[in-house]
Amino acid sequence: MLRKAHTCWFRWPVLLLVTLLVGALAACGGAPKPTYFPGYPVGFVERGVASWYGPGFHGNKTANGERYDMHQLTAAHRTLPLGSIAVVRSMSTGRQVTVRINDRGPFARGRVLDLSLAGAYALGMTGAGTDEIELRVVGYQGRTVDMGVLRVQVGSFSDQQNALNLLERAKHLYSGGRVQVVDLPEGKRYRVQIGQFSMEAQAEAAASHLESSLGLQAFVFRDDS
C-alpha cells in the first residue's frame, strides 16, 4: 500500500539504490534484471506445497502464450505476474532452483506452485510428486500493464450443466461470473469463476465468503486472458 506523499519522498533514493544494486548482482550472474511491480516487490516470500506437471502438458500453450516445455526451468503460479523470477527452495532437502513464472496453476486445493519437470528434478521431488517449498521472488521480466484481474474459482466439472448450475447459485452473491472451458489431457473441464478484483485481499475475502455460503472450496487466481 502506498504511503502518504509527505512521508515517503525520502524513500525513493533508497529504493533506487536497492534496485540498482540487485540489478547489478543479477547481471553478473546472468540472471534477468529485476524490477518492481505492483503488489509483488522483489523479496515476496510464500511457503506451501509444490507439485509438478510434465508429459501430458508438454507442448501446450501456457498462460503467457508460450509453448510449455517441461525441460525448461519454469513454473505455474495462480497470482504472481507472468514473468516473475523466483528462487524455489525445498524445505525437506534444502536444494533450490530458479524458475520463471509463465503459466497459471496449480488448480488444486492446498498447493501454491506447479513446477516444470526440470524444476521438480532439480529439487529431487519427481518421485514423491509434491514437496514443501519456500518461494522467493528475485526479479521480473515483462510489462506490468499485462497483469490481469483476479478471479475466484469455485468449481471445475466434466459436465457443463453442473458448472452452469453452480454459476447460477454463485451469481446471487457476486456478479461477473462465467464458465471457462479448458482442454486438459483427461478431457474438457468447465471451470466456474466468479468476480473481478484488483486487490488480493478483496479476492481472498470473496473466496472465504463463497466457501462459507456455498459449502465448497474456492481459490484465487489471476486471469491473464
pLDDT digits (tens, 9 = 90+) for 200-221: 889 999 999 999 999 999 989 9
Indicate the number of domains in the chain: 2
> Of 116, 144, 172, at which residue does a domain stop?
144
pLDDT winner (highest mean) among 33-37, 41-45, 55-59, 101-105: 101-105
Domain that holds residue 109: 38-144
- How far is it, in rounded angstroms, from Cα 82 to Cα 85? 9
More confident position, 22 or 87? 87
Beta pairing, strands 74-76 & 150-157: unpaired
CA distances from 125 to 45, 57, 90, 112, 156 (A): 20, 18, 9, 15, 27
Statement to judge: residues 134 and 42 lie in one domain: yes
Residue 191: inside a domain: yes
Q: Assess contact for 209 and 216: CB atoms under 8 A.
A: no
Statement to judge: residues 154 and 83 lie in one domain: no
Statement to judge: residues 114 and 181 lie in one domain: no
* Bridge partners, residue 194, by sequence: 152
Residue 50: inside a domain: yes
> Of 144, 170, 202, at which residue does a domain stop?
144
Among the residue ranges 120-134, 143-157, 198-212, the one predicted with the least confidence is 143-157
pTM beyond 0.95: the answer is no
> Of 144, 172, 187, at which residue does a domain stop?
144
* pLDDT tops 60 at residue 4: no
Residue 4: inside a domain: no
Statement to judge: residues 101 and 131 lie in one domain: yes
Statement to judge: residues 162 and 209 lie in one domain: yes
Statement to judge: residues 108 and 161 lie in one domain: no
